[in-house]
Amino acid sequence: MTTRRKLVVGNWKMHGTHKANAELFEGLLAAGPSNADVAVCVPFPFLAEAAVALAASDVRWGAQDCSAHEQGAYTGEVSCGMLHEFGCRYVIVGHSERRAYHAESDQLVADKAKAALAKGVTPIVCVGETLAQRESGETEAVVKRQLSAVIHTLGHCVGEMVVAYEPVWAIGTGKTASPEQAQAVHALLRAQLQAATPHAAAMKILYGGSVKPDNAATLFAQPDIDGGLIGGASLKAADFVAICRAAP
């Protein structure tokens, strides 16, 4: 059995100020190491702050989106080459908010993941179903479709990405998939990856969706849940640190 070290990633979404960022970084650094690998994905303007504040620590930093293009006349876009120059280890692609509010297709998400890997940045590829899709029994079909596009596009590089399962109905709602519900989807995704790459057993599949200090340990104890992609709780150092420390 492959032992996978947990990964806990904070997604600040569109939050942050110089003062709040400094306090959050200070809290993370003061907490010291945990049993998990830790990263924060911050808004583009704060990447420099993250790079400076975290440079001497074990905490990694990343971005929340990227362009599928390498360079060119794409006003407002940020390339993976730029992220690499900032020392980004990770970039979130395909978050449900990007899919819903910016009409990002499965293929665009896959192209972004490919662009990230080409520049040495690890994509955290998000998949997940809405409440309507879950209630109509479409969860399996939706997440498999979303992941399939990425598998097809990345080819032999599939094993280099991180996957995050985020049920849309649990993001920012206070609702959390039960450990059993989350594990069932994670196992499904693992099986899909196993059919695509010999490295599937070593790949990290994170859970995201109202993860908090009081439920993190139970979620992380599931065999196919390898950590979390943390939203609101990552904005409070004490909560985020507690979640990181919940990793076995």
Active site residues: 95, 166
Sequence-ordered strand ranges (E) for 119-204 = 122-127, 162-165
d(CA 79, CA 69): 6
Token output for 63: 């971005």
Q: Which DSSP letter does residue 207 get?
A: E
* Residue 137, marked binder: no
Q: What are phi and psi of 125, to 5 degrees?
A: -90, 115
Residue for token digits 């849309």? Answer: 168
Q: How far is CA 5 from CA 71, 180, 202, 203, in A?
A: 35, 21, 9, 10
Question: Both tokens of residue 207?
Answer: 């859970």
Residue 210 marked in a binding site: yes
169 is in an annotated binding site: no
By the 8 A CB rule, do 222 and 184 touch?
no
Residues belonging to the binding site are 11-13, 172, 210, 231-232
Residues belonging to the binding site for substrate are 11-13, 172, 210, 231-232
